[in-house]
Amino acid sequence: MNFSIRSAILPLLFPAIAASAPSGPTILQVEPGQKQQQLDGMGGGAIFYEAHITSLAARNKDSAQTALYDAMFRDVRTDFLHLMIRHDHEPQNDNADPWQPAFKDEWFAYAEHTAAICAAAKARQPGMKLYATLYTPPAWMKTNNDVSAGGKARGTLRPGMELELAEFCWAFLDWMQRRGHPVEFLSIANEPDWEHTQPGYWLTPEAHAALFAKVADYLKEMARRHPQVPAVKLVASNTLSAVDCAKHWLPPLLKTAGMDLAVVGSHDYDRRGDRWRALTKAAQGRPVWCTEWCVNGPDHSPYLLHSAGEYWLAMTEAFNGGASGWMAYAWVYPPRPGGEALIHVNWGLDFRLTKIYHGYRQWCLPLAPGMHVVTTTLSGPAASGFSAPGVKAAAFASPDGRRLVIHAAAVQDADAAISLRITGAGNATIQRLRTSATASVDTLPAVTLKAGALEDTLPGRSMTTWLIGYPQGFGGK
């Protein structure tokens, strides 16, 4: 990612957060009976730094490698692993017929890291679903003859290369299938709406819709010819902006190939207004996923605590706006003062868990596909507008209504007094988990809900999770 460009467009929120404490409690009202969309799941990406993830084993540090995989896939309950399709596996055209793939296994050397990560994930989460995104086709398919998206030059797909691109995607699906890792979801582009210089290719909404339709038809026909490679579900438009996805990208896509669009996916780097509600409406009943998000600028807070708060903010806004799935951009990055990844791996030596990791772990632990988002409202001194500092909250209920999860975060320096009110609830013992400057998914003393209400405090820069109906001692340490 070209973080310098993106950070200039989309500045971080936390440097402007005031430290003064508001007076009085902020009221968090939860309505368990008002069920919204169903949760499809949570996920994380193995993007760009796959070799870092496997580097401990490469240095014969098998116990450290196991510990890293445990941290990623055993200790954090996720449902999707997002994979990067690189440009490498067709350095020259395999042949002149896209319907007769003739790819060499040595071209997929880069994907051996990917396959190892998938094996580790499934060993710990057998139900893990794989979602792959093509970042760029090979340079020889592109107008700029380069894997870069070209910036202002807008490198794009050469005319007549549509089926070659479709074959390129299918070849990755086939290679993964033969290694026991079937891919279930696919995006044909990554941020095609952004004039960047990272690996990628630029498209107009109309060009994307036309290409999507041709790739969809190709993949359906290849599934008929090669039934050993299952058909994938297509996710689009995978743009940088959910705002623009709703307004500009979905209309031509739905008109051209709406029957083939399984999931509406977008990144969340354009955080204007109630963007997820607008995208959910534009999706016309299809599930909506945030397919990538991270903090893309420097963060010098201890263990990236400020970035953790930004993740909490982004997730609450997405789910309250109608999203049914959410994916952190990357599991692993090299050590750096930025909030792009959950874990920092010093190549081949060791790894460190950030506060982003602990906060994401706390968020994911009590959630499971099939739960429903339920209505929450905030009022009082720390309630705030979209993408602004303050208290943020989201709640989820199990299908039978016996379990209720409430996440609330103080995305600000000041502590926040909270008056929690749950409609229809009586008296109950509530378990609590917390991640903060001094806690990492810690179990707090249980509290008592009386007549559906309780008073609590959120320390500044912290997230508290209230759990009803979970086994005693669930989750934290």
Q: What domain range is 437 assigned to?
A: 22-34+373-468
17 domain residue, yes or no: no
241 domain residue, yes or no: yes
Structure token pair of residue 330? 């990357």
Looking only at the bridges linking them, the beta strands covering 372-379 and 26-38 are antiparallel
pLDDT for the residue numbered 116: 98
Question: Rounded distance, CA 346 to CA 267, Å?
Answer: 27
Q: What is the CATH number of the domain that holds 230?
A: 3.20.20.80
Rounded to 5 degrees, φ, ψ at 212 are: -55, -45
285 domain residue, yes or no: yes
Residue 320 and residue 442 in one domain: no
Cα separation values, 12 from 16, 270, 294, Å = 9, 12, 11
476 domain residue, yes or no: no
Residue 225 and residue 345 in one domain: yes
Question: Rounded distance, CA 295 to CA 194, Å?
Answer: 17
pLDDT for the residue numbered 12: 45
5 domain residue, yes or no: no
pLDDT in tens, 37-87: 999 999 999 999 999 999 999 999 999 999 999 999 999 999 999 999 999
Residue 255, H or E segment = helix 250-257
pLDDT for the residue numbered 30: 98
Residue 231 and residue 262 in one domain: yes
From the CB of residue 92, how many other CB atoms can be counted at a distance below 10 Å? 7
Residue whose C-alpha is closest to residue 327's, from 197, 235, 412: 235
Residue-wise over 266-299: b if at least 16 C-beta within 10 A, else e? bbbbbbeebbbbbbbebbeebbbbbbbbbbbbeb
pLDDT for the residue numbered 22: 52
Residue 6, H or E segment = helix 3-9
From the CB of residue 96, how many other CB atoms can be counted at a distance below 10 Å? 7
Residue 84 and residue 217 in one domain: yes
The last residue of a domain, from among 369, 396, 421: 369
- Residue numbers in the chain where pLDDT is lower than 70: 1-23
15 domain residue, yes or no: no
Residue 357 and residue 377 in one domain: no
The last residue of a domain, from among 369, 403, 438: 369
Residue 288 and residue 388 in one domain: no
Looking only at the bridges linking them, the beta strands covering 80-85 and 288-292 are unpaired
Residue 146 and residue 255 in one domain: yes
Residue 317 and residue 298 in one domain: yes
From the CB of residue 225, how many other CB atoms can be counted at a distance below 10 Å? 8
266 domain residue, yes or no: yes
Residue 353 and residue 380 in one domain: no
pLDDT for the residue numbered 24: 87
Residue 185 and residue 318 in one domain: yes
* Number of separate domains in the chain: 2
Question: Rounded distance, CA 62 to CA 54, Å?
Answer: 10
- Strand intervals (E) in 200-306: 233-239, 261-267, 288-292
Cβ neighbourhood burial of 228 (10 Å; 0-12, 13-18, 19+): exposed
pLDDT for the residue numbered 11: 42
Residue 90 and residue 231 in one domain: yes
The last residue of a domain, from among 322, 339, 369: 369
Phi-psi region of 469 (alpha: psi -120 to 50; beta: other; left: phi over 0): left
Q: What is the CATH number of the domain that holds 407?
A: 2.60.40.1180
Residue whose C-alpha is closest to residue 239's, from 191, 203, 195, 186: 191
Cβ neighbourhood burial of 106 (10 Å; 0-12, 13-18, 19+): exposed
Structure token pair of residue 341? 């990844």
Structure token pair of residue 244? 């623009």
From the CB of residue 73, how many other CB atoms can be counted at a distance below 10 Å? 22
153 domain residue, yes or no: yes
pLDDT in tens, 170-188: 999 999 999 999 999 999 9
Contacts of 333 (CB under 8 A, 6+ apart): 48, 49, 52, 340, 341, 343, 344, 345
Residue 360 and residue 388 in one domain: no
